[in-house]
């Protein structure tokens, strides 16, 4: 049976293993055995809302046109759109088209965040002070 960890549980595991001296250097950058898309998105949304962002995501996109990114985050003067990937997931052609198109909109930031490896980048972007750009 595959074990699923939340980002918080995984980081707690790393902290505990490091404190006990049982963590090899390479293990600090490895993703957990299995992180679900839902858990990854929930961790990002928790971090974002704690720093003043409003979040929008579709819970059931089966009847929507394909390719729209997973997450829209906005706060005064800022807007970003992110596609989230876990495990071996890759960006589809439709997703790449949307991200490229949205990336041409002035002031709109687009990202592809791939699992726990992207967490430092996610944390840095979402916790930085508000920018004075228009969305």
Do residues 103 and 48 touch, judged by C-beta distance below 8 A?
no
Q: What is the mean pLDDT of residues 60-73?
A: 88
Q: What is the predicted pLDDT for the residue at 5?
A: 55
Lowest model confidence (mean pLDDT) among 25-29, 41-45, 90-94, 118-122:
25-29
Q: Which CATH number fits domain 35-127: 3.40.1350.10, 3.40.830.10, 3.40.50.2000, 2.30.180.10?
A: 3.40.1350.10
Q: What is the predicted pLDDT for the residue at 58?
A: 87
Residue 119: pLDDT band by 50, 70, 90 thresholds? confident
The contacts of residue 36 (CB under 8 Å, 6+ apart) are 4, 86
Q: What is the mean pLDDT of residues 65-83?
A: 94
Q: What is the predicted pLDDT for the residue at 104?
A: 94
| Domain map (residue ranges) of the chain | 35-127
């Amino acid at each position: 049976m595959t074990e699923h960890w939340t980002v918080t549980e995984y980081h707690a595991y790393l902290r505990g293993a490091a404190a006990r001296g049982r963590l090899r250097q390479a293990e600090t950058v490895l993703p957990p055995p299995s992180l679900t898309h839902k858990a990854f998105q929930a961790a990002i949304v928790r971090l974002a809302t704690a720093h003043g962002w409003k979040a929008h995501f579709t819970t059931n996109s089966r009847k929507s046109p394909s390719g729209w990114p997973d997450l829209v985050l906005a706060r005064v003067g800022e807007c970003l759109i992110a596609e989230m990937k876990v495990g071996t997931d890759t960006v589809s052609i439709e997703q790449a088209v949307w991200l490229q198109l949205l990336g041409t909109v002035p002031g709109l930031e687009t990202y592809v965040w791939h699992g726990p490896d992207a967490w430092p980048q996610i944390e840095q972007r979402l916790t930085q002070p508000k920018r004075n750009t228009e969305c």
